[in-house]
């Protein structure tokens, strides 16, 4: 142990530590040795005494007024420090409030933007729908008002004698519509379905739900034939010929 202490004392570690020029690692080492080894502690204490003693022997008289300057500066620093603390607290509070408000407005803005996008999409859809409907109505109007348009009265056969419909066909504009005005009631498991035979091909035009006075557009072709059949509920892929209740040649 004496040897270790001797090697510590012979090194420069204590002097460097005394002057405050040690690295972090050296500082820890020096403090550990001073605590562990009494001889090292004694040497360090002696070094401190010698330093104080030697420094005192080089004392230089302090000028008048310097003490006052130092004390004033310290007092000023304390006041500034207090002011700074108060300012820092106020600033921190302001930042907190501002951050909270920012988050609130940001989240509100985000939700409004989302809502706005949704509303815009709905408006676009409605516009498109309206445009389509307007186009439809315009076409219907053209067809119905056109002098070339021929009107055909359609009645049901024996299977549906009460069926009444009117077909409008315009060979010039190549447009045709069907207006079903009366449909006899059917059992719940059956429905009326509309078909059109165009250029030898049978097209499914969908189920006629009720006599709603709406014009049903028919695909136009020369010598096309429209059929109304009774089909099982939900409609059929191909018409059941024996269940034809009306045909419209247009």
Task: Tell whether residue 77 is a contact of other proteins (CB under 8 A).
Answer: yes
- The least CB distance from residue 76 to other proteins, in Å, is 10
Told to check if 55 binds other proteins by CB under 8 A, we report yes
- Residue 4, CA distances (Å) to 11, 19, 33, 40 in order: 11, 22, 10, 10
Report if residue 84 touches other proteins, rule: CB under 8 A: no
Q: How far is CA 138 from CA 143, 165, 170, 176, in A?
A: 9, 21, 14, 13
Q: Which of 2, 25, 62, 241 binds other proteins (CB under 8 A)?
A: 62
Contacts of 157 (CB under 8 A, 6+ apart): 244, 245, 246
Residue 23 near other proteins by CB under 8 A:
no
Q: Does 61 bind other proteins (CB under 8 A)?
A: yes
Q: Does 51 bind other proteins (CB under 8 A)?
A: yes
Decide: is 121 part of the binding site for other proteins (CB under 8 A).
no
**Is residue 58 a contact point for other proteins (CB under 8 A)?**
yes
CA-based end-to-end distance of the chain: 122
Burial of 234 (0-12, 13-18, 19+ CB in 10 A): exposed
**Helix, strand, coil tally for the chain in percent (to 5):** 55, 20, 25
CB of 108 to other proteins, least distance (A): 46
Q: Which is nearer to other proteins, 53 or 189 (CB)?
A: 53
Name the segment binding other proteins (CB under 8 A); options: 75-83, 132-140, 146-154, 161-169: 75-83
Does 31 sit near other proteins (CB under 8 A)?
yes
CB proximity list for 162: less than 8 A, separation 6 or greater? 156, 182, 183, 184
Nearest distance from C-beta of residue 2 to other proteins, angstroms: 18
CB of 64 to other proteins, least distance (A): 8
- Does 1 sit near other proteins (CB under 8 A)? no
The encoded tokens of residue 9 equal 């004392």
Residues at the interface with other proteins (CB under 8 A): 12, 15-16, 18-21, 31, 45, 48-64, 66-67, 69-71, 73-75, 77-78
């Amino acid at each position: 142990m004496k040897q270790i202490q001797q090697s510590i004392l012979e090194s420069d570690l204590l002097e460097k530590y005394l002057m405050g020029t040690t690295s972090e690692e050296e500082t820890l080492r020096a403090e550990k040795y001073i605590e562990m080894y009494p001889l090292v502690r004694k040497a360090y204490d002696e070094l401190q005494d010698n330093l104080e003693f030697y420094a005192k022997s080089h004392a230089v008289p302090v000028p008048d007024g310097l003490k006052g300057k130092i004390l004033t500066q310290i007092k000023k620093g304390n006041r500034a420090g207090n002011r700074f603390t108060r300012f820092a607290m106020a600033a921190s509070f302001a930042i907190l409030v501002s951050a909270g408000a920012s988050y609130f407005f940001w989240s509100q803005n985000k939700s409004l933007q989302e809502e706005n996008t949704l509303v815009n999409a709905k408006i676009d859809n409605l516009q498109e729908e309206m445009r389509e409907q307007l186009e439809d109505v315009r076409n219907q109007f053209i067809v119905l008002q056109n002098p070339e348009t021929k009107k055909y009265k359609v009645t049901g056969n024996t299977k549906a004698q009460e069926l009444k419909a009117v077909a409008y066909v315009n060979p010039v504009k190549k447009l045709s519509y069907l207006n079903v005005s009366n449909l006899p009631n059917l059992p719940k498991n059956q429905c009326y379905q509309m078909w059109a035979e165009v250029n030898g091909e049978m097209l499914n035009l969908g189920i006629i739900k009720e006599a709603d006075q709406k014009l049903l557009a028919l695909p136009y072709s020369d010598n096309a034939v429209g059929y109304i059949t009774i089909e099982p509920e939900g409609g059929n892929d191909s018409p059941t010929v024996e269940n034809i209740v009306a045909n419209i040649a247009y």
